């Protein structure tokens, strides 16, 4: 006969599955953050400035980077468990994929501001 589980262990198990659920629910954010074009015009082959394209990318990408960086950190604390190690690696890969788009978006926004084509005031 198995000894009864403690309340703390059951709570920890529920929190683990809640964390996995949050990671799965945030997949659309990561997907859009990774594939949205920074400049929609350049993506269509038009040489023009897109003043709000980089902000649209950051709207999806910034929360995704935060969620998956936290997920990678929390799951990497227990690398001996295969499930945690796999989740940590997947989270780290998503951070890299979305992070590349975040960096490019910030660079595009900086270039637009430096050339003064996009005004920040009303």
pTM score of the predicted model:
0.78
Question: Tens of pLDDT along 45-87?
Answer: 888 787 777 888 888 899 999 999 999 999 998 888 888 899 9
For residue 64, what are the CA distances in angstroms to 21, 32, 35, 119?
Answer: 14, 9, 13, 28
Crossing angle between the packed helical segments 53-76 and 82-114, to the nearest 10 degrees: 150
Arithmetic mean of pLDDT over the chain:
84
For residue 39, what are the CA distances in angstroms to 36, 47, 63?
Answer: 9, 10, 20
| pLDDT recorded at residue 8 | 58
């Amino acid at each position: 006969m198995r000894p009864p589980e403690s309340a703390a262990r059951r709570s920890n198990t529920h929190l683990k599955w809640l964390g996995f659920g949050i990671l799965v629910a945030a997949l659309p954010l990561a997907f859009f953050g990774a594939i949205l074009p920074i400049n929609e015009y350049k993506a269509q082959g038009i040489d023009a400035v897109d003043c709000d394209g980089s902000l649209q990318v950051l709207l999806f990408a910034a929360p995704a980077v935060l969620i998956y960086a936290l997920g990678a950190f929390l799951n990497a604390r227990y690398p001996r468990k295969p499930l945690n190690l796999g989740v940590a690696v997947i989270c780290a890969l998503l951070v890299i994929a979305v992070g590349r788009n975040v960096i490019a978006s910030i660079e595009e926004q900086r270039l637009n501001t430096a050339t003064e084509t996009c005004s920040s005031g009303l």
